[in-house]
Amino acid sequence: MIKKVFFQIHWFLGVTAGLILSLMGVTGAIYSYDQQILNWLNQDSYVVEVATTPKLTPAQLYQHFNQQQPEIEINSITIASDPTASSIVNIKKEGARRGYNMIVNPYTAEVLPEIRGRDTLQFIQRLHRNLTAGEFGAQITGASTLMLIFFVLSGIYLRFPKKHSFKQWFFIKPKLKGRNFIWDLHAVVGTWVIIFYLLFACTGLYWSYDWWRAGMFKVMGVEQPQRNQQHNEPKNRKNKQPELAQQQVNSILTQTWTGVNAQIGREYSSLTLNIPKHDNAKIELSFVDAIPQHERARNQAVYNYQDNKFEKFELYEDKKLNEKIMSSMLPVHRGSFFGSTYQFIAMLASLAMPLFFVTGWMLYLKRRKQKKLTQAARQSMNKQQIDPNAKPWLITYASQTGVAEQLAWRTATSLQEAQQPTTVKPIQQLTEQDLLQAEQMLFVISTYGTGEAPDLATSFSKKLMQQKLDLNNMQYAVLALGSKEYSDSYCSFGHAVDQWLKQSNAQSLFELIEVDNANAADIQRWNQALSDVTQHELHAMNIEKVFDQWTLTERSVLNPNSLGQPACNIELTAPYDITWHAGDIAEIQPANARTEIQTFLEKHQIPAQTLVKSSNQTIEETLWDKNLRVEIKPFTNLETLVEQLPRLPTREYSIASIPSQQVLRLVVRQKSDTQGHLGLGSGWLTEFAQLKEKVALRIRTNESFHLIDDNRPIICIGNGTGIAGLMSLLQQRNRQNYVENWLIFGERQRECDFFYKETIDAWKNMGTLKRVDLAFSRDQEQRIYVQDLLRTNADELSKWINQGAVIYVCGSIEGMASGVEQALIDILGDETVDQLRQSGRYRRDVY
């Protein structure tokens, strides 16, 4: 909860104050090199041609300007040791607290061209400090700087996982895509600049708040200097020292210049003499070492020109570190205090400030878009006028992937359109009382796995079907769904329900109807049988399979050199915006390889471009999705031939991505039959379909595997290509910033078969995955599987379940899913597992 609160504050402040900080970052980066920029722009002012005569002394420059421009008041004169460097005469100017610098030729006293770019840089400075809005703007920038400290500290807290490595923290992962890459860029670069941003913020606040400045002096152990109060002193002071005449100033400057250069005892790059105002025998001066630590590392001195000696001589290098820092806050702030390399890196860090604003907004907008998608409301069934004298129908369904549920609701709609009253209930909600009271019931029953009941129907199977009920008051019919490809278990649970109803004395309205892979003809037989019973003409209720033409954009092998068959990362893009939910299924219409079509046409001596009249397509185009491996009877025309060729059965794959990633990702492992032919779906997707080719695909909702919409913990368990369904769930949890996630994944070898390792590592680093346990069965002599990891972590599993965790299992039903279920029963107990299943806390997508 604390982490969630910090996250909400982090992004809220980011999308509000981020623009101000971005502006401050860019302007600060520019102004940190203000003098270098001015020097580059004004070579004609700062660099002069060396003359044969010596440079003019401060006294000579002072005398020159008093004669040529007597109206100006000179504050100080700076002479550089470099013969090509110009001299600076600082004069009093209204509105300029530190005066105005005239750049002059050190040999002729000629005033050199005005410094170009100075006004622009001063504007940038004001923009950086107060947004050019005076005190009000200063309050905004000060508050934004305080927020920067919060961003840095909360960002580290939000990113800090239990397990981490240097590489995860500091290396950008370019193979990541979409939102993961944006987050990685935001987090990794953010980690790089932590020190810089903390230093920027802590030193920047020196100018924002008096209390912060006073606190810095106290923490650093340095006495805070008092502000200059001279402007508050009475104008009529007693014992006021007389002002100096021009000739006196000339004499003092000459005497001081000679004495200082004779006694200073060290090289300097420039020396500045403040023009004395009173005859007190003292003149203040400062000088910069030949190789200074930074641009503000000035040495201070007071020279007594009457005694010809220094009364005060303070070298910057002799100061303690804390004194240096507090007297050089601007160099510390911009980074020059720590050297030119650090200053350059600090400038880059400052320029990177907009990156966090932009990536933060991108992450925020993607999160908002996903929330809108996940909040889409279900369409409810239109109410129809009902015949009050008609007997009500109770329709129940046992569904794993949603087909049985869809057919149950289609049946209810069809009956309601015929004015028949209907009620639809999932089979797990049926009670003994429902069965005893129902006069007319329809059972739409799917078979799952190797002949078992769908997950949510297990309580019905284990409890109600084990009872001997007297249902002689009930008339019923069963629609059994299955796939003939699994001949041993075809519609077996539907037959079991039908047999139990007969044993319970229920009267069948008509014989059980089997449906093979949602075959339209089978469904129509069901529809017709209901029409005969109700004596109403019912509308057709076929499950129409409308496929969209997706584009295959990427295909890569995930497990090169693996002991197992190649598993491929398949990526497809939609022709328009198509949405789905984490946990949904992609149904693919496989197609034939071009070589197989050509071989078929050559075998039957049919030209590829021959037109098929019934489809108005060429025979080559017509055969794209036909089963060409069936036995062909003699045919007189192409229409007769095509009628003999059934459509290739569709194939279903768990989706590994979510819509906001703007790509539909699958994990497909190649399968081969005994003759070495690649499987229909795996062959088409992993080898025969070409990149940029169209793939017929439709999204099928899989509500029983949908993600919970709250922040309860989840435990994702899977093996092999089952990682796909788990990846979509974790992608969505990552979007929602729900971090109580545990992944348990198994494959053969870590080196070859750790699918999506970089993404999983990134999630560990981000804190999206609180725990990851891996089982690579072939990496040690004794094979370890995911069910073994459950037993090893039995206490932790029980702890998570007690905290409300929801279990998701995706992968092969034989071996993994059955082994996981047995492990769960051994650890939690059969009754608890059943309760988890009925309450939606144990969800499976297995095959």
6 in a domain, yes or no? yes
Say what the pTM is: 0.56
Residue 487, domain CATH:
3.40.50.360
289 in a domain, yes or no? no
What pLDDT does 181 receive?
Answer: 79
User: Count of residues for the chain?
Assistant: 847
Most confident of 309-318, 394-403, 638-647: 309-318
Number of domains in the chain: 5
- By 3-state DSSP, what share of the chain in percent is helix, strand and coil, each rounded to 5? 45, 20, 35
Which residue, of 655, 678, 700, is where some domain finishes? 700
Return the half-sphere exposure (C-beta side, CA atoms, 13 A cut-off) of residue 659: 17
CA distance 831 to 801: 14
Residue 627, domain CATH:
2.40.30.10
- Say yes or no: 436 and 328 in one domain: no
- Say yes or no: 552 and 674 in one domain: yes
For range 800-823, the mean pLDDT = 92
254 in a domain, yes or no? no
What pLDDT does 112 receive?
Answer: 95
- Say yes or no: 418 and 484 in one domain: yes
- Say yes or no: 106 and 138 in one domain: no
Q: Please give the DSSP secondary-structure letter assigned to residue 427.
A: G
CA distance 399 to 407: 10
Domain range for 418 is 394-534
138 in a domain, yes or no? yes
- Say yes or no: 722 and 683 in one domain: no
Q: Which residue has the higher pLDDT, 238 or 506?
A: 506
- Say yes or no: 642 and 612 in one domain: yes
Q: Which helix (H) or strand (E) holds 358?
A: helix 353-374
CA distance 675 to 194: 60
What pLDDT does 233 receive?
Answer: 44
- Say yes or no: 621 and 652 in one domain: yes
Q: Mean pLDDT of all residues in the chain?
A: 88
For range 306-327, the mean pLDDT = 94
785 in a domain, yes or no? yes
In the block, residue with structure tokens 């329809």: 442
- Say yes or no: 141 and 168 in one domain: yes
> Three-state DSSP class for 385?
coil
Q: What is the pLDDT of residues 434-493, one digit of tens each?
A: 999 999 999 999 988 777 888 888 889 988 999 889 999 999 999 999 888 777 889 999
277 in a domain, yes or no? no
Q: Which residues pair with 556 in a beta bridge?
A: 569
Per-residue confidence at 227, pLDDT binned at 50, 70, 90? low
- Say yes or no: 353 and 459 in one domain: no
Which residue, of 685, 700, 715, is where some domain finishes? 700
- Say yes or no: 454 and 500 in one domain: yes
Q: Which residues contact 594 (CB under 8 A, 6 or more apart)?
A: 688
Distances, alpha carbon 147 to alpha carbons 131, 136, 355, 363, in Å:
17, 17, 16, 19
4 neighbors 131 (Cβ within 8 angstroms)? no
Which residue, of 534, 567, 599, is where some domain finishes? 534
Using a pLDDT cut of 90, give the percent of the chain over it: 61
465 in a domain, yes or no? yes
349 in a domain, yes or no? yes
- Say yes or no: 476 and 428 in one domain: yes
CA distance 278 to 245: 9
- Say yes or no: 657 and 565 in one domain: yes
